């Protein structure tokens, strides 16, 4: 019934001295201009009502107001008093006090129940044959009525009203559904349809209720709840159900009850916020914006956004995607990529995921940041930010996942079946990875921009993932420069495709930039052999590759580890086992123990290497990436002596380098200068390896060496 017709009906009954606006205000919520018009109507003489009616009709229609809520119901006759059973009374107390974490969800639950009532009626009308032989189909009163949900707020009387035009309830159904906690009328309805063979997936998929406790969430905020209902069956009487939640309820017949169900919640004093229109609009927008029927709040539609994730992907326009992305992401940019898909295997999933256009902020980079994907079941919000729905490293995604297969606890707030949730998480993660890989192949330039902004999240995924297969799927998306091509990045699959025949490993080198990478002593040997090396410019890249460990059956090996291998000292040796142009064996045998003595407490071993050409020496440790990470994060908590004991560095010298040859001579001609030189060479090698947290600490020893050299001249 429209606002105007309601005004006319009430207007004919009230005395001229009564303020019309005051009578109707709780039921409409029209604007001040509309109320001014109502005031003018009230001042008109009786013969002017028709003209005023037209004026008011135009005004209200222009503003889009429409409500069916009227305070016209009247209980008649004697009431039947019923008591909840003892265990039911206890369950009611649990529902009202403990089951839900946020009081506002009672609105979601009651709207969901109203939506179910509409869907049941819609289904029965569509499948009814007009015969009442099965007790389900039969004649319906006002079968062509609009199926809507109306909510009215009344701050003055602390009331919230939720009314639907759905299937309604008979007395038996009222006792059964509202007199027994955890008995779901919706669940029973679906079971009956399945037994009769009429309940296909398609025609019951909009039924939401599962557990029969949502209605009782109203007692979290209510002193008393009144329910007016009238079954949609022809000739069914109107009924009133009332309870204060203390353990009893009353049922009696009522007059002037509209078909459907109307719930009047008399709010507690400390819950008066739920009689505020803006507060209820916010709750509707958050939880129930996508239910299948229109929701009117004080006469104006409150759910505006279409659930486009349930549409066919090809039917959704870019403009719809942009609008929906801004809605779910609470942002003003547009999506970079859109992943819209549905599947029924291994789970029923309807997903719409957006990759943001903008760069991630500092908060999004933090692992404490919540994910941006909301979880829905049949268009009703379950959790706006759902943990474990996607792995943490995908927290930059925004969007919606709707799955009918997700089991929920009674309050719809906590996910129960961890095995199914893991399956859903795996399915979503794998689909996202396939999508990104597809973008990297079809839109390489767009993907490269995405990787520049969000590559860190992918690397986090490799470090945090527990499954090697998932790590390797993420690894397909990584990009690195290599020793062969400057200013161009390649993927690991591309690197593997162009490997030399017989190469069993994937080599990588960590350096701040390309210049230092190409000048690294660790790279010299591989460069001479023409082996391509991945250059890792970010500080955490080598940790990522170390965690990855293997790709397509090939080990990922740092160039430092390659140098440390047992056969490192065999390169370049002549027939006598000496490196051409190097110190004699006797000289090496003298120099190595001397160096180990002078570097006592710093090195675990000193040896020669044939893998150096232009550099005099290097330092190697067992796991260079882990060692560098330790130096950056923990070195300030440990003494220098203990640091070397943990690192166990190996000092490797190039016996053919002029500096090393000169060092051997100085050991006998100027032992003091030789010791300063040896320590400086070791310090330089530690800096080159990235194992010194603050190179300024070396200035003192460097100045001592320079002073000693200058004293000789």
For the chain, how many residues are written? 713
Q: Residues with Cβ < 8 Å from 360, sequence gap 6 or more? A: 396, 453, 454, 457
Binding residue per annotation — 109? yes
Inter-residue contact 241 to 411 (CB < 8 Å): no
Does residue 113 have a known ligand-binding role? Answer: yes
Q: Which residues, 6+ apart, have CB-to-CB distance to 17 below 8 Å? A: none
DSSP secondary structure letters along 468-511: HHHHHHHHTT--EEESS-TT-EE-HHHHHHTPPTT--EEEEEE-
d(CA 108, CA 105): 5
562 is in an annotated binding site: no
Report whether 472 contacts 552 (CB < 8 A). yes
Is 169 flagged in the annotation as binding? yes
State phi, psi for 352 to the nearest 5 degrees: -135, 105
Residue 210 in marked binding region: yes
SS3 266: strand
Residues 257, 230 contacting (CB under 8 angstroms): yes
Judge whether 524 and 613 are in contact, CB under 8 Å. Answer: yes
Main-chain phi, psi angles of 601, to 5 degrees? 90, -10
CB-based contact 402:206 (threshold 8 Å): no
- Residue 555, marked binder: no
Contact 649, 604 (CB under 8 A): yes
Q: Do the strands 505-510 and 533-536 form a parallel or antiparallel pair, or are they unpaired?
A: parallel
* Residue where the block lists tokens 């001479």: 528
Q: Phi, psi (5° rounding) for residue 117?
A: -60, -40
If one counts every other C-beta atom within 10 angstroms of the C-beta of residue 195, the result is 9
Q: Please report, for residues 239, 334, 477, 490, 593, the alpha-carbon distance to residue 452 in angstroms, rounded to integers and kept in the order given.
A: 64, 18, 12, 13, 49
Residues in Cβ contact with 1 at an 8 Å cutoff, skipping those fewer than 6 apart:
67, 68, 70
8 Å CB contact between 445 and 452: no
Residue 213 marked in a binding site: yes
- Both tokens of 285, joined, read 């927008």
Start-to-end C-alpha separation, the chain: 108
The verdict on whether residue 214 carries a ligand-binding annotation is yes
Structure tokens at 272: 């008066």
- 642 annotated among ligand-binding-site residues: no
**How wide is the angle at C-alpha 111 spanned by C-alphas 106 and 117, nearest 5°?**
130
For residue 215, say whether it is annotated as part of any ligand binding site.
yes
- The CA distance from 632 to 459, in Å, is 19
Name every residue whose Cβ is closer than 8 Å to that of residue 356 and which is 6 or more positions away in sequence.
Answer: 329, 331, 333, 335, 336, 396, 398
Residue 164 assigned to a binding site: yes
Which residue is listed with tokens 């729905």? 389
For residue 293 the two structure tokens come to 């029927």
| 190 is known to lie in a ligand binding site | no
Output the known binding site for ATP.
Answer: 109, 113, 164, 169, 177, 184-185, 210-215, 261, 412
């Amino acid at each position: 019934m429209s606002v105007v017709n309601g005004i006319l009906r009430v207007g004919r009954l009230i005395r001229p001295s009564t303020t019309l606006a005051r009578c109707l205000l709780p039921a409409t919520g029209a604007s001040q201009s509309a109320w001014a018009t109502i005031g003018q109507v009230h001042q008109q003489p009786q013969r002017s009502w028709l003209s005023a009616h037209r004026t008011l009709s135009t005004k209200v229609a222009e503003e889009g107001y429409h409500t069916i809520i009227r305070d016209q119901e009247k209980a008649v006759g004697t009431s039947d008093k019923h008591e909840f059973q003892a265990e039911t009374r206890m369950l009611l107390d649990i529902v009202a006090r403990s089951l839900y974490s946020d009081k506002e969800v009672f609105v979601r639950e009651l709207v969901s129940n109203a939506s179910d009532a509409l869907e049941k009626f819609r289904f029965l009308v569509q499948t009814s044959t007009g015969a009442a032989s099965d007790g389900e189909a039969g004649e319906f009163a006002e079968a062509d009525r609009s199926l809507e949900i109306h909510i009215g707020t009344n701050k003055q009387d602390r009331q919230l009203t939720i009314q639907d035009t759905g299937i309604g309830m008979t007395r038996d159904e009222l006792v059964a559904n509202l007199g027994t906690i955890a008995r779901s009328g919706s669940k029973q309805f679906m079971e009956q349809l399945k037994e009769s063979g009429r309940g296909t997936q398609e025609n019951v998929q909009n039924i939401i209720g599962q557990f029969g406790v949502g209605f009782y969430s109203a007692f979290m905020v209510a002193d008393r709840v009144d329910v007016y209902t009238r079954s949609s069956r022809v000739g069914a009487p109107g009924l009133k159900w009332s309870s204060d939640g203390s353990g009893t309820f009353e049922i009696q017949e009522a007059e002037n009850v509209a078909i459907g169900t109307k719930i009047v919640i008399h709010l507690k004093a400390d819950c008066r916020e739920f009689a505020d229109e803006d507060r209820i609009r916010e709750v509707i927008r958050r939880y129930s914006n996508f239910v299948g029927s229109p929701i009117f709040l004080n006469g104006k539609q409150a759910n505006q956004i279409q659930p486009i994730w349930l549409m066919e992907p090809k039917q959704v326009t870019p403009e719809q995607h942009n609008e929906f992305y801004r809605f779910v992401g609470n942002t003003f940019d547009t999506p970079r990529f859109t992943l819209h898909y549905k599947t029924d295997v291994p789970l029923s999933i309807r997903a719409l995921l957006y990759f943001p256009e903008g760069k991630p902020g500092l908060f999004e980079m933090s692992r404490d940041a919540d994910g941006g994907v909301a979880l829905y079941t049949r268009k009703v919000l379950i959790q706006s930010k759902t943990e474990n729905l996607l792995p943490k490293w995908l927290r930059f995604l925004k969007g919606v996942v709707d799955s009918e297969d997700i089991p929920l606890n009674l309050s719809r707030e906590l996910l129960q079946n961890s095995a199914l949730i893991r399956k859903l998480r795996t399915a979503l993660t794998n689909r996202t990875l396939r999508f990104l890989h597809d973008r990297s192949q079809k839109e390489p330039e767009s993907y490269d921009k995405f990787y520049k902004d969000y590559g860190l999240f992918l690397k986090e995924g490799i470090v945090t993932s527990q499954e090697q297969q998932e790590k390797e799927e993420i690894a397909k998306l990584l990009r690195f420069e290599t020793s062969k091509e400057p200013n161009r990045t390649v993927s690991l699959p591309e690197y593997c495709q162009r490997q030399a025949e017989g190469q069993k490993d994937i080599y990588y080198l960590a350096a701040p930039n390309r210049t230092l990478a190409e000048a690294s002593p660790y790279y010299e040997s591989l460069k001479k052999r023409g082996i391509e090396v991945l250059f890792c410019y970010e500080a955490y890249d080598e940790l990522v590759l170390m965690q990855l460990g293997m790709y397509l059956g090939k080990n990922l090996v740092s160039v430092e580890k390659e140098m440390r291998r047992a056969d490192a000292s065999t390169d370049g040796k002549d027939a006598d086992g000496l490196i051409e142009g190097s110190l004699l064996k006797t000289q090496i045998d003298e120099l190595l123990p001397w160096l180990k003595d002078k570097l006592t407490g710093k090195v675990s071993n000193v040896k020669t290497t044939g893998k150096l050409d232009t550099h005099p020496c290097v330092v190697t440790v067992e796991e260079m990436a882990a060692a560098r990470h330790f130096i950056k994060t923990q070195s300030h908590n440990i003494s220098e002596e203990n640091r070397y004991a943990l690192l166990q560095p190996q000092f490797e010298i190039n016996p053919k380098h002029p500096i090393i040859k000169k060092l051997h001579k100085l050991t006998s001609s100027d032992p003091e200068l030789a010791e300063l030189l040896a320590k400086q060479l070791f310090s330089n090698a530690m800096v080159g390896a990235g194992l010194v947290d603050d190179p300024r600490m070396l200035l003192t020893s460097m100045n001592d060496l320079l002073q000693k050299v200058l004293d000789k001249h």
